[in-house]
Amino acid sequence: MSGDSEGSGNAYRIEPLKAENYYTWRIQVMDILTDKSLEGYVDGSKPIPPLPANATTSPAIEAWTKNDRKALTNIRLRVSGEMIPYVSGATTSKAAWESLADVFTTKGPMGIVLARREILDFRFNDDTDIEEQVRKLRTCTEKLAMLGAPLPDDQLALTVLTALPQTWNPFVSAVDQSKLDSANIIGRIILEGHRRKDQTNGTTTLLTTSPSNNQRRTNSSTSNNPRSRFQHGVWCYCERERSRTESIRRGSDKDFSQ
């Protein structure tokens, strides 16, 4: 089977299951199990074969047990240490999978209400990486979909636009309401977020590397302000007179000594 030669834990690199990443983790682990042709053992679509009459086991049961154990191992190896107690007592991959779902999923109407509230309360901000915020919002929508109440695509698109801060109002105004496609809008938001970040970084760099603003203001005020030019001229005149007086004094001292 694909990936078996590389071991159950080494072929794929994902973040282990923690309290806050269950919905993302669930999708990734199911993809891994599917790639290894083990998903049927976990979702129940490939149940254990019936036991033949007058037999304690069979080749089919032994093969099923071996593959189910592989699926269970793939799950456990991708669970963090603090989450292990939730799967340590499971004897099948399906039991482990359902145990984690019971722990992290609030089922029924309350689960749907909580998930919808989480989406409606979500707000983007200009100080956090835009892709990180999009991932967080997508996790919320995936949670709702797993509970059997996915948002229609046009509602999801409007929800995403509503979550943008007021500084994004020009962007929102430019969206064609007749083409509310959530994937397209999310992609445009990510691009716009990067553009704004690059623009901010460029402005900061320009201010950091350009000549001193104070020096420019000093030079500008000196050249453009008549009073400043006058004061500068007086200062130069006084300096010249001071130097000339000092030279005369030194000359007089020399003549007296002779």
100 and 150, same domain (yes or no):
no
13 and 81, same domain (yes or no):
yes
- Tell me if 141 is assigned to some domain: yes
Q: Give the pLDDT band (50/70/90) at residue 253.
A: very low
204 and 119, same domain (yes or no):
yes
- Tell me if 183 is assigned to some domain: yes
- Tell me if 258 is assigned to some domain: no
- Tell me if 257 is assigned to some domain: no
231 and 167, same domain (yes or no):
no
Amino acid at 90: A
Coil, helix or strand for 89?
Answer: coil
Who's near 177: CB < 8 A, 6+ residues apart? none
Beta strands in 139-206 (DSSP E): none
Q: Which of the listed residues 76, 104, 132 is the one where a domain comes to its end?
A: 104
Coil, helix or strand for 79?
Answer: strand
Q: Tokens at residue 16, please?
A: 């282990």
Q: Which of the listed residues 54, 76, 104 is the one where a domain comes to its end?
A: 104
Query: Which value, to the nearest 10 degrees, does the dihedral of the CA atoms of residues 156, 18, 105, 114 take?
Result: -50
pLDDT tens digits along 230-251: 445 545 555 565 565 555 555 5
Show contacts of 14-17: CB within 8 Å, 24+ apart.
14/78, 16/78, 16/79, 16/80, 16/83, 17/78, 17/79, 17/80, 17/83, 17/100
pLDDT at 38 over 70: yes
Q: Where are the alpha helices (DSSP H) in 12-92?
A: 22-35, 39-43, 59-76
Counting Cβ atoms within 10 Å, is residue 136 exposed (0-12), middle (13-18) or buried (19+)? middle
Q: Tokens at residue 15, please?
A: 């973040």
Who's near 89: CB < 8 A, 6+ residues apart? none
Average pLDDT over residues 88-96: 96
Distance CA 252, CA 246 (A): 10
Coil, helix or strand for 105?
Answer: coil
Q: Which domain holds residue 193?
A: 108-209
pLDDT at 68 over 90: yes
123 and 184, same domain (yes or no):
yes
28 and 89, same domain (yes or no):
yes
175 and 201, same domain (yes or no):
yes
pLDDT of 97 reads: 97
115 and 199, same domain (yes or no):
yes
Could you give the number of structural domains in the chain? Answer: 3
- Tell me if 189 is assigned to some domain: yes
233 and 189, same domain (yes or no):
no
pLDDT of 244 reads: 57
- Tell me if 203 is assigned to some domain: yes
pLDDT of 96 reads: 97
Q: What is the DSSP string of 241-257?
A: HHHHHHHHHHHHHHHHH
Distance CA 119, CA 163 (A): 9
97 and 137, same domain (yes or no):
no
Coil, helix or strand for 229?
Answer: helix
- Cβ–Cβ < 8 Å for 134, 186: yes
Q: Tokens at residue 221, please?
A: 């005020």
12 and 98, same domain (yes or no):
yes
17 and 74, same domain (yes or no):
yes
Distance CA 220, CA 184 (A): 49
- Tell me if 112 is assigned to some domain: yes
pLDDT tens digits along 131-140: 999 988 988 8
pLDDT tens digits along 204-235: 555 555 555 545 444 544 445 544 444 455 45
Query: CA nearest 3: which of 42, 38, 27, 28?
Result: 38
Phi, psi of 124 (to 5 degrees): -75, 155
Q: What is the mean pLDDT of the chain?
A: 81
